[in-house]
Amino acid sequence: MTRPTVRLRPNRAPKLRFGFPWVYADELVLDRRTKALAPGTIATLEDAERRPVATVAVNPISKIPARVLDRDPEAEIGLDWLRDRLASALALRETLFDAPFYRLIHAEADGLPGVIIDRFGDAAAIQPNAAWAEALFDDLATALAEVTGVTTIVKNGTGRARTLEGLEEVTEVVRGTLDGPIPVPMNGATYMADLTGGQKTGLFYDQRPNHAFAARLAPGRRVLDVFSHVGGFALAALAAGAEHALSVDGSAPALALAEEGARAAHVGDRFTTHRGDAFDTMAGLASEGPRFDLVICDPPAFAPNKGALEKGLRAYERVARMGAALVAPGGYLVLCSCSHAADLARFREVSLRGVSKAGRPAQLIHTGFAGPDHPTHPMLAESAYLKAIFLRLG
């Protein structure tokens, strides 16, 4: 069967030919025929002169109604195509890591738009956050098992991205079995990843290099890890020889996993947790007087989109001000942002302003980003979302 075609409006093709992976609603001819296509339909994208441009996945109800799957307008999207993309991604990760614990697919940057796959040894979690991936999920899972050899696959169909695509939320084990959280070795620590009940896919691999840099500052020091999730920075610091670490988070299940990870790594005697609002907890610690040699603040995305940017920047400034007040003289403050709408320059600006308002002189000693298993699409700023600044405070 001849597959459907969709057409660009005039003068919209050049950036796609240079590799941009999305077609926005105001760039595509959304006529009655196109609007009638089922979400996830594979189609040939044409320019305004009816010349083929690329193979795309169409979702008429999305703000991104066409996503480029292949720059070959005649590409056949199926099991073989998925195997090739997965094999290419696997080759990179096997070059970078000596153990199968990493992000295997980072969406557009790995040529699978809207798809996230995190690997946990013999298990993997797939987030099919685009309609085409939902439609081809069975083939995607089959290709994943064949290429990597994983025996357990979890479908994690939750989150804002799926809502924007008009997809239902669902989390289920689609292959194999899970007996509980999976221990993940990383930076000398052990993390417990809950693939069915945890945040996102169960663990944040993106912070791996930032955990490692913070751990270099930790030996013999007192550490405070705010917005800690399953103990990301704290457990790495303890593995490196921190005197003590306190993890603060609003999620009791996340803190329970952090404690389990600390016990598994035999550092539980130097680790405590506190469940509570991060801002309230930091205010309480400031009034009580304890100071820490290393403070890390890794909050959720305060600016998930441009509309939330200004409010989010104010929140990041507040985090920096409150965090700086808890750092002992000569200690270190680590501030992180996973908001792609807040670029590094703006995030650094408001963070340093917050530190200044706390009355603390600072040296910027390092800037960190996501690890190499989270490659950046060169034409898509959204794929370079994570940034971390490391400060030494006077």
DSSP of 152-165: EEEEEE-SHHHHHT
Q: 40 — phi, psi (to 5°)? A: 95, 0
- Written as one letter, the residue type at 183 is P
Please give the C-alpha separations between residue 57 and each of 8, 23, 64, 105, 352, in angstroms, as whole numbers.
Answer: 14, 10, 10, 18, 42
Burial of 156 (0-12, 13-18, 19+ CB in 10 A): buried
Q: 299 — phi, psi (to 5°)? A: -75, 170
Chain position carrying tokens 């069967």? 1
Note the residue count of the chain: 394
User: What's the CA gap between 173 and 113, in Å, rounded?
Assistant: 22
Question: What is the token pair recorded at 162?
Answer: 């799926």
User: What's the CA gap between 227 and 278, in Å, rounded?
Assistant: 7
337: enclosing H helix or E strand: strand 327-337
Contact 286, 220 (CB under 8 A): no
List 106's β-bridge partners, or say none.
116
Contact 53, 8 (CB under 8 A): yes
User: What's the CA gap between 287 and 297, in Å, rounded?
Assistant: 18
Helices (H), strands (E): how many in the chain? 12, 19
Alpha helices (runs of H) in 50-113, residue ranges in sequence order: 79-96
* 378-88-123-205 Cα dihedral, nearest 10 degrees: -30
Question: What is the token pair recorded at 209?
Answer: 């290099």
- Written as one letter, the residue type at 255 is L
Please list the active-site residues.
Answer: 338
Chain position carrying tokens 């040529």? 111
